[in-house]
Every structure is written in structure tokens, then in C-alpha cells.
């Protein structure tokens, strides 16, 4: 018996993968990575992998970035889907000096095959005032 909304026996037609990063205070001009583990962003790629188990396409990504300490200044802060530690797909670049920043892209078309993995790549600017006590969480939607 198949379930409603599934392509075949127990195969999802679309799904969301959650991503998160524990509290940290970003460093100027550093590149950080997060995945599904509840830990602070790290500077080493290909560690925080989110694995793909079936053919699909990333259609959108949405991240919620919250600075619970200092909001920081408004330099451009870029967030990417990094696929297989080789190809970057921009989610969005935000240049705000608010405590809450929403990073979103509903027009993505990142092709996936079983065995691929991705991470969220965060490219920090050289801030005039760095944000502090930053939390990042969100999702990547796959069809």
C-alpha cells in the first residue's frame, strides 16, 4: 500500500531538509559552514554534510539569522548552497544591520542525485561592527 503524496512505496515527492548552526560570533572575512548538526559553524568544508538519498532538485532555501547580542553593521553577508564541496549556488546576499535577517531564495534549481551532499556556506564580510551571539536555522526544500 502506498501513502498519499508519495511517488511510490514510501518515496517522498518533495521534502524539506533542516539546517542549523549553534550560537557563534562570526569572524571578519571568514567562510563558515553549517549542516544538520546542532553545532557552531565551522571553517572546514565537507564536514557538515547533508546527504541526498534520491534524485531531486533544490527549489528553495530559507535561513533565519538572528543576532541575540549585537546586530552588527550592514555589510553584504552571503549565503550559499555548496554542493559536493565543488559548486556554490547563491541563496542570497543580505546587507542589513538588524538583529534578524531572513535569507531566502524561492527560485533555485540545483540538480541532485542520490549520494550528493550539500552544506550551507556562509561568507562573512569585514564588518565595521561584527554581529554577536548569532544563531542560524532554516530549511532547504527539495522536489
Instruction: Kindly report the average pLDDT of the chain as a whole number.
Output: 93
Q: What is the pLDDT of residues 31-87, one digit of tens each?
A: 999 999 999 999 999 999 999 999 999 999 999 999 999 999 999 999 999 999 999
- Minimal CA–CA distance to 98: which of 136, 65, 127? 65
pLDDT at residue 118 is higher than 80 = yes
* Domain ranges (residues) in the chain: 26-126
- Minimal CA–CA distance to 31: which of 114, 88, 96? 88
pLDDT of residue 11: 56
Decide which of 1.10.287, 2.60.120, 1.10.3470, 2.40.350 is the CATH code for 26-126: 2.60.120
Segment holding 24, helix H or strand E: strand 15-24
Q: What is the pLDDT of residues 14-32, one digit of tens each?
A: 999 999 999 999 999 999 9
pLDDT at residue 2 is higher than 50 = no
pLDDT of residue 13: 84
Amino acid at each position: 500500500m502506498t501513502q498519499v503524496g508519495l511517488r511510490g512505496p514510501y518515496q517522498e515527492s518533495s521534502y524539506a531538509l533542516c539546517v542549523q548552526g549553534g550560537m557563534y560570533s562570526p569572524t571578519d572575512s571568514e567562510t563558515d559552514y553549517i549542516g544538520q548538526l546542532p553545532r557552531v559553524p565551522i571553517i572546514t568544508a565537507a564536514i557538515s554534510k547533508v546527504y541526498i538519498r534520491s534524485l531531486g532538485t533544490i527549489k528553495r532555501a530559507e535561513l533565519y539569522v538572528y543576532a541575540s547580542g549585537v546586530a552588527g553593521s550592514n555589510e553584504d553577508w552571503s549565503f550559499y548552497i555548496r554542493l559536493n564541496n565543488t559548486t556554490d549556488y547563491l541563496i542570497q546576499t543580505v546587507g542589513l544591520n538588524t538583529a534578524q535577517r531572513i535569507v531566502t531564495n524561492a527560485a533555485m534549481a540545483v540538480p541532485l542525485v542520490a549520494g550528493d551532499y550539500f552544506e550551507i556556506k556562509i561568507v562573512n564580510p569585514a564588518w565595521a561592527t561584527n554581529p554577536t551571539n548569532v544563531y542560524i536555522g532554516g530549511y532547504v526544500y527539495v522536489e
